[in-house]
Structure 1
């Protein structure tokens, strides 16, 4: 977008605006603030960009899920922008306006202009105004200078030569003064491993069933498959099967990826699985086709998963061509029609679709190379490739590999080795591979895979030794992919739900079968010191608690939910409640006299837990005032982890209330200590979640009230202490 604004003569006049809003349907919007430019030539580089986005969706995805349409979508956004300008004309909060407008657009898409049972109601202005006031949808926010983003790599082929200059939200979310841009996402992976997928809420990702992907290429591939399967399911007449290829190293989780996609879109009952390496005769393959045909005759859309289709020297490819091309298979003298179905072919000999089959021989190729390619052609390998409708490359728990210049000294297959520059190289079926140094997301894939194999619930907090976390996420390589990781995790899984300690690891010899044991154990020993979180001083609590109440009070006024007996300074709450009670003739309307002091203690408790919550994402309180760029970096870091921190804030708020004797009830009742928000964070209404999110967003303001600032905690933090280490198993 910024490149087009910079280079397109047709779009450059737009940069003369003071504020430019760009909408990506209801999935996101960008606010470009050009107020700091000095000349028209530097408008883009000098602008400040705020991006409001749905981290789990792409442009148009919400609309595709809903049949029908409406009109007035941009009116929703215009109304939210106008409302924000009436509230503060000098410095309107356009980021909030975009979030409110996008929420209203989604509400209009889902509910239209009202129920068909109430015709003639007209444009639902009142309903949409309520949504703008209290958004019912959650959008993430990111801020960056216009000079930061650059183009992403044109294709995976251009990757692998080192960290690119392509800007990404995920890389930016990991950036702070102590870290470099080419650092893999170990910090975010640690949060995912300990807290679950909520740590990814504000990072672009795709979630399909239990499958979650964060790498740009995986996201695009999965979304392409999602759209392809949906179109085939809803619109295709089904004369030909839909053919999809799945490629990746053994143990990368190919069957899991496609099964989650199929279950999410078609249901569990549609899945059929056949391992072609176990077939001996053509009759067995025809039997598989008959099973598929039977499902079709039952009015189902079956998904047939052909595992190891490239086994036995590509023997089965010739028999798969006719079903893929014509939707028919021959048995004896009879030709049978398959009908509408989906074929999924998972290979076992190729890391990627690009390297399926041996490379075409060059003029100086060896005889073995020419023979291998000739056999692949005779086995109908190129014909099979041309009949695939789509493909997915699955990586697994290791860093992805990309094709490197050919190694003439390498044989057909060579074990992964280090080339002396801490870079893994490997040769498989005539192709040389090297690690993709631009793949910074592989630790996150490991974290998700570890949680899945340990049987963690989606919102479960994992109790695990920090040294073990470091080793599992930073291991150089798992020799056999997900299978090796599974072997290492088996003794840990048996120890759950107890704390997972380093002493549960397999013996060194068995560990070395699955990974480089010396390096793995060295990672355990090299775990960063565990930070001790010093409690907030009494003076700081006394300064911050009233600020927390003031912000909460102001939000309540804006939202229209502030009760009259709470509209007072924190210290004056007991008197305000007493004054309110005197005006109430009905005793049922009076508030308990202890409520004022309780609310004061509640605000003090909220102030006291700030250091603990900040520590979750590597932040701490420090004395002094920060510069503008430091404050902006901290505020953006909080935004990138907003959902995780809001959940932590709510959990600790709930725990404290339960300790004070409060219990859940559908309706709030102070007299009997009942509260309707004593629920897990995931079960709260968006309006209630926003209170916790707003509290986190105002943490920098709370710190200022105490004369402090929020900083990134470095490894040499003076508050750091050496972790307690578990003894290694002999």
Structure 2
């Protein structure tokens, strides 16, 4: 179906946008009025009139819609009119040198029609055989006036594709009942996320894409106000200009998240760049562009909707950037180049990633869904190596990444915590009527970077306004020391600065456990401190309470204590120390995750280590980064730094090892550059570190022999198998095809990473060790991981699923998910992984259980 042969009908509510702006006088020698500020105004099409223009630009198709030939001369008081004040704003925050464009400074409201009922317009030359119908329902009368609906919708015999843009999520309108009864299978509903939130739908904003996506899924399944939408065959919810969720019901519910990796919802353009109306309309036009140029069977429609979401996000971003142009009266609006992809565009469709949202509404499991894991075809260890070698930006192109100044993180938990703190700081700094400090708490092990993270957030918001102060309460001797600290804070406030005060080790003992807490209650609640009979206001300030004896907020509250009497005793002491009063005054907290693994569920620690190590290399030894951005570091050194079980002093230890290495004149970080064994002992388990250091060399040397051993075991397991499908696999190694040899080599390389999933590492030993036996649970984990490895290797070499095994066509019935694999095939994988310890032992590798 070609776009130019399509018939597209666009209709809906009608609104005229009245825009006004002020310009400064151009001279002081002209007529009197010319020496004053000039107020300008213009009328522009809004709602369905604007949508029709955007669709025409996007699709290059025949568009049938309501017509107003000359808005200014035909403007009637019967029309709904929206009022807005414009001003000049930078094109974008990072490129102020490119000049300014007009955008909305503030929306002034509506000028309602004289009779209270907005005038609607019929569709000029309406066609009953429309291929696509697009509706802009702003809940201003159109959805209850059937006479203005497109004929293709009123007909019970036609089945056009319907793009239904609605801003009021209710299922009781006459229009929705018509769509639900006759057109639901081909109706694509588009509702902006903020419109959902305005109706009481609780979906978080600007924290993490994972959290937003899973909260949306929970709401669509559980919120009675959205029950009518749960039956939509196609529902699209844009989240700002940075993402969208596509909810698809084709018998089984599926949801997909589309997102810009380096942005969160609302992160692209701040309020300082102005606002724009029509952003969702522009998104819908981009969506229509993709649908108009594709065929429309069920599978193709699904694919074209996905492509259309990308088109819509790109178009909406470009629409915002263009604004009303440098001159509202002279520049064409909307910009006709908005839907034309150019080489110099700041955003392209390829940048926008997608991921299937897991249909899990268990709160505990939700918090452990990471897009990073779903988007990565390789294991986390390989990604970590790649980050250090080639840099974060070159590796993490398809997963969410948050950056605050020099702080980068991909860990969902950290992203959500940091963004919560940033949002709190932004609101506090922007507010003019605050009388008390903003109080937040930061927890983490010593050396995890508690002060660094919060400082970078503050610098990313208002670096010129915020002044940092640091007080370590463990060094204070009496309350007078704290009063002197408050005086310093007050001095900065009086200078017009906002002090960012770190109270390190606020949870240290003083006059008993948590003895300092009671001295902060009045400053936190009322913004004052007492000195004798005098009361002093502190002024605007941000209190950051950094824990010294507790590494998490849960630990600070005693929630990790299991024994009942111990917990009861703790809570009594906590209450006596004014702990509940203190926590009630906190407005946020963050647990800083350092380079050490927090628990068995924390699999991203190796990514955090990699990002920290890459940052240290770039800052401390930039000469080890070549012109192509590649870090010059020995693989053994890299493995040891990333896989060592624990750093004794967290990030400080990693930094210390780098600083103690002989790298001043080095061209590559070799093993010989590392500090001595005695020095390493200060920061890591030196024996374990050295084993990691040498393992790559030892293991790499034996890949070929291990692969041969794996193949021989496979032959033994299948020597009595008469199945012709495996005849190519059970020949001697020297007769095996190179492709099958590579498969065995790939399995051998993958074994160490697979073993990490059951908490085993391998070490090189001098003699053949005794080999362990895996538990049934461990065998299941290893077998599934091995099948995934085989599946990916097979796919990479051109194989695809087929009901019959065919070496020429490269089809294999085993290329299916593990849970769908027949038990007979699963048993063969079980047999294979069970013999890994024996194969490794014969090559002088011992399996060692890692300490938790």
Shift of 1:471: 1.5
Within the alignment, does 1:105 sit opposite 2:300 as a pair? no
Within the alignment, does 1:192 sit opposite 2:380 as a pair? no
1:301 corresponds, among 498, 507, 513, to 498
Contact 1:361 1:373 in 2 (8 A): no
Alignment of 1:302-701 (within 5 A): 302-313=499-510, 314-356=514-556, 365=565, 374-400=572-598, 435=599, 437-456=600-619, 460-492=629-661, 494-495=663-664, 498-527=667-696, 529=700, 626-627=800-801
* In structure 2, distance between residues paired with 1:620 and 1:66: 51
Contact 1:26 1:105 in 2 (8 A): yes
1:22 corresponds, among 237, 240, 246, to 237
The secondary structure found in structure 2 opposite 1:291 is: helix
* In structure 1, distance between residues paired with 2:221 and 2:579: 46
The secondary structure found in structure 1 opposite 2:360 is: coil
> How many pairs does the alignment contain?
485
* In structure 2, distance between residues paired with 1:216 and 1:387: 26
Shift of 1:308: 1.5
Shift of 1:283: 3.1
Contact 1:149 1:168 in 2 (8 A): no
* In structure 2, distance between residues paired with 1:442 and 1:244: 25
Alignment of 1:282-297 (within 5 A): 282-297=479-494
Which residue of 2 is the match for residue 420 of structure 1? none
TM-score (norm 1): 0.59
1:81-124: CA deviation from partner (whole Å, max 9, x where unpaired): 33334444354744443223212212333442223x43375632
Contact 2:402 2:415 in 1 (8 A): yes
* In structure 1, distance between residues paired with 2:634 and 2:795: 25
Which residue of 2 is the match for residue 251 of structure 1? 447
Structure 1's 82 and 289: CA in aligned 2 closer, same or farther, altered over 3 A?
A: same
TM-score (norm 2): 0.51
Which residue of 1 is the match for residue 347 of structure 2? 137
Contact 1:318 1:379 in 2 (8 A): yes
Q: Which has the larger radius of gyration?
A: 2
Within the alignment, does 1:52 sit opposite 2:254 as a pair? no
Contact 1:301 1:340 in 2 (8 A): yes
Shift of 1:346: 0.6
RCO (CA 8 Å, sep 6+): is it higher in 1 or 2? 1
Structure 1's 492 and 312: CA in aligned 2 closer, same or farther, altered over 3 A?
A: same
Structure 1's 118 and 439: CA in aligned 2 closer, same or farther, altered over 3 A?
A: same
Contact 2:449 2:651 in 1 (8 A): yes
Contact 1:310 1:348 in 2 (8 A): yes
The secondary structure found in structure 2 opposite 1:311 is: coil
Contact 1:295 1:302 in 2 (8 A): yes
Structure 1's 272 and 625: CA in aligned 2 closer, same or farther, altered over 3 A?
A: same
The secondary structure found in structure 2 opposite 1:246 is: strand
Structure 1's 296 and 5: CA in aligned 2 closer, same or farther, altered over 3 A?
A: closer
1:301-345: CA deviation from partner (whole Å, max 9, x where unpaired): 221111122224333322222111110111222211111111111
**Runs of 5+ in structure 2 lacking a partner?**
1-215, 705-791, 804-809, 812-835, 837-842, 844-852
Which residue of 2 is the match for residue 128 of structure 1? 338
Structure 1's 174 and 297: CA in aligned 2 closer, same or farther, altered over 3 A?
A: same
1:571-627: CA deviation from partner (whole Å, max 9, x where unpaired): xxxxxxxxxxxxxxxxxxxxxxxxxxxxxxxxxxxxxxxxxxxxxxx9999765545
Shift of 1:126: 1.5
Structure 1's 389 and 203: CA in aligned 2 closer, same or farther, altered over 3 A?
A: same
Contact 2:258 2:355 in 1 (8 A): no
Which residue of 1 is the match for residue 370 of structure 2? 168
Shift of 1:236: 4.4
The RMSD of aligned alpha carbons is: 3.8
The secondary structure found in structure 1 opposite 2:252 is: helix
Contact 1:2 1:44 in 2 (8 A): no
The secondary structure found in structure 2 opposite 1:52 is: strand
Structure 1's 331 and 8: CA in aligned 2 closer, same or farther, altered over 3 A?
A: closer
Contact 2:503 2:546 in 1 (8 A): yes
Shift of 1:374: 4.8
The secondary structure found in structure 1 opposite 2:325 is: coil
* In structure 1, distance between residues paired with 2:318 and 2:797: 45
Which residue of 2 is the match for residue 677 of structure 1? none
Deviates more, 1:377-386 or 1:323-332: 377-386
Shift of 1:438: 2.2
Contact 2:504 2:546 in 1 (8 A): yes
1:379-419: CA deviation from partner (whole Å, max 9, x where unpaired): 3333222211111111211112xxxxxxxxxxxxxxxxxxx
* In structure 2, distance between residues paired with 1:125 and 1:70: 14
Structure 1's 477 and 25: CA in aligned 2 closer, same or farther, altered over 3 A?
A: same
Contact 1:76 1:101 in 2 (8 A): yes
* In structure 1, distance between residues paired with 2:572 and 2:227: 55
Structure 1's 349 and 124: CA in aligned 2 closer, same or farther, altered over 3 A?
A: same
The secondary structure found in structure 1 opposite 2:661 is: helix
Shift of 1:73: 1.4
Within the alignment, does 1:74 sit opposite 2:280 as a pair? yes
Contact 2:440 2:586 in 1 (8 A): yes
* In structure 2, distance between residues paired with 1:60 and 1:390: 21
Shift of 1:275: 1.7
The secondary structure found in structure 1 opposite 2:238 is: strand
